[in-house]
C-alpha cells in the first residue's frame, strides 16, 4: 500500500526535482494554482517518505531510462513490498530484464491507488496502448515537454490533463477521446501540431488551451448547440486558440453559449 503511494509521489517528485523544470513556462496563471489545489486534495505531502528515498529514483532529465516497472505480483508480494520501500523501483534502469531504453513508456498494471502521473521533460516518444488502462483512480496526467505523437486510450476518471509541448498531430488524439470524462476540468494541449479541436468536449471542462497548434477552422457547434439556443456551456471560461491560423470571425455563432470569447485571432 505504502509502496504504491510512494510510486505516485515518486513520479511527481522526480519531475519536480528535475533541474530543467525552471525553464518551463507555464501557459497560465491558473495552472500552478490548480496543481496546488489538487495537491491539497490528495495530500501527497503528508505521506511520510524521507528525502533519501526520493533521491534514489530521481532520473530526470538525463532520462535515458524511464520504463515503468510493474508492481510485484508474486506470492511473496509482502516481502517484495518491504524491499521496495527501501529502494523504490518504479523507474528502474538497472534491472537486467528490462529492454534497452527505447523511449517507450511501458504498461503498468493494477496501480490501484495511483492518482497522479507527472513525467514532465522526459524523452517519451511512444506510450503503450494499455499504459493507462488499469489505473482506476488516476486523476491527473501530466506529460508536458516530451516527444509524444500519439495518445493511447485514457482513463475517463481524469480531471486534469497536460500534454503540452509534444508532437501530437492530426491523428495524435483518438476520436472522442475526452467525451466520457465527466470530471475533466483542464485540458492543456498547447504547443503541439493539432489541426482540429478534439470533440466532443466534456460538459464540465473549464479550461481548454490549444495555443500554438495548427488549427485552421472550427464548426459553429464546436462549443455550442446551434439547434438549441437555450443551451449554455457555463463551465468553459478559458479557451485559448491564439497562435493558430484560425480566424475566429468566421464562426460568429460558435461562441454564443460561452461565458467568454475564446482568445485568438478575430481579424
Ligand atoms: C435545449 O437545451 C436545454 C439546456 O441544456 C435543455 O434543457 C433542453 O431540453 C434542450 N432542448 C432540446 C429541444 O433539446
Ligand atoms: C476573417 O473572417 C472575417 C469574416 O469572415 C473576414 O471578414 C476577414 O477578412 C477574415 N480575415 C482574414 C485575415 O482572413
Predicted local distance difference test score (pLDDT) of residue 57: 30
- Residue 216 CB partners (closer than 8 Å, separation 6+): 195, 244, 245, 246
Given ligand 1 and candidates 230, 235, 236, 256, which is best to mutate, with the most ligand atoms within 8 Å of its CB? 230
Give the CA diameter of the chain.
66
**Residue 128, in any domain of the structure:** yes
- Interval between CA 232 and ligand 1 midpoint (Å): 9
Predicted local distance difference test score (pLDDT) of residue 134: 87
**Residue 41, in any domain of the structure:** no
- Residues spanned by the domain of 113: 98-267
Predicted local distance difference test score (pLDDT) of residue 266: 81
* Cell numbers at 231, concatenated: 443551451
Nearest to 198 by CA among 221, 166, 175: 175
Would you say the CB of residue 228 lies under 6 angstroms from ligand 1? yes
Closest ligand to Cα 229: 1
The single residue listed with the C-alpha cell 502521473 is 117
**Residue 179, in any domain of the structure:** yes
Would you say the CB of residue 245 lies under 6 angstroms from ligand 2? no
Beta strands 207-209; 238-240: pairing state: parallel
Do residues 213 and 239 make contact, with C-beta atoms less than 8 angstroms apart? no
- Give the residue whose CA is nearest to atom 12 of ligand 2: 267
Would you say the CB of residue 102 lies under 6 angstroms from ligand 2? no
Q: Write out the E strands in 86-228.
A: 104-105, 116-118, 126-127, 140-142, 160-162, 186-188, 207-209
pLDDT by residue, tens only, the chain of 267 residues: 434 433 443 344 444 444 443 344 444 444 544 444 444 444 433 434 333 333 333 233 333 333 343 344 444 434 433 333 333 333 333 333 433 334 555 565 456 789 999 999 999 999 999 999 889 999 999 999 999 999 999 999 999 999 999 999 999 999 999 999 999 999 999 999 999 999 999 999 999 999 999 999 999 999 999 999 999 999 999 999 999 999 999 999 999 999 999 999 887
At residue 134, what are phi and psi to the nearest 5 degrees?
-110, 55
Would you say the CB of residue 74 lies under 6 angstroms from ligand 1? no
Can you give the CATH number for the domain in which 252 is found?
3.80.10.10
pTM: 0.67
Closest ligand to Cα 252: 2
How many domains, the chain?
Answer: 1
Amino acid at each position: 500500500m505504502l509502496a504504491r503511494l510512494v510510486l505516485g509521489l515518486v513520479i511527481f517528485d522526480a519531475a519536480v526535482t528535475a533541474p530543467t523544470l525552471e525553464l518551463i513556462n507555464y501557459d497560465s496563471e491558473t495552472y500552478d494554482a490548480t496543481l496546488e489545489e489538487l495537491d491539497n486534495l490528495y495530500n501527497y505531502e503528508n505521506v511520510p517518505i524521507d528525502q533519501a528515498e526520493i533521491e534514489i529514483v530521481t532520473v530526470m532529465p538525463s532520462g535515458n531510462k524511464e520504463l515503468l516497472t510493474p508492481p510485484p505480483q508474486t506470492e511473496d508480494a509482502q516481502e517484495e513490498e518491504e524491499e521496495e520501500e527501501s529502494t523504490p523501483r518504479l523507474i528502474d534502469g538497472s534491472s537486467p530484464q528490462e529492454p534497452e531504453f527505447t523511449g517507450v513508456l511501458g504498461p503498468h498494471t493494477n496501480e490501484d491507488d495511483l492518482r497522479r502521473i507527472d513525467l514532465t521533460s522526459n524523452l517519451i516518444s511512444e506510450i503503450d496502448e494499455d499504459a493507462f488502462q488499469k489505473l482506476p483512480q488516476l486523476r491527473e496526467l501530466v506529460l508536458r515537454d516530451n516527444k509524444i505523437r500519439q495518445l493511447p486510450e485514457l482513463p475517463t476518471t481524469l480531471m486534469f490533463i497536460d500534454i503540452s509541448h509534444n508532437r501530437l498531430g492530426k491523428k495524435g488524439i483518438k476520436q472522442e477521446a475526452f467525451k466520457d470524462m465527466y470530471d475533466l476540468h483542464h485540458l492543456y494541449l498547447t504547443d503541439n501540431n493539432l489541426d482540429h479541436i478534439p470533440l466532443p468536449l466534456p460538459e464540465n471542462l473549464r479550461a481548454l488551451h490549444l495555443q500554438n497548434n495548427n488549427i485552421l477552422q472550427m464548426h459553429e457547434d464546436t462549443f455550442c448547440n446551434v439547434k438549441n439556443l437555450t443551451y449554455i456551456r457555463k463551465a468553459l471560461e478559458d479557451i485559448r486558440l491564439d497562435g493558430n491560423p484560425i480566424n475566429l470571425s468566421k464562426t460568429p455563432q460558435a461562441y454564443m453559449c460561452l461565458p467568454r470569447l475564446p482568445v485568438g485571432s478575430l481579424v
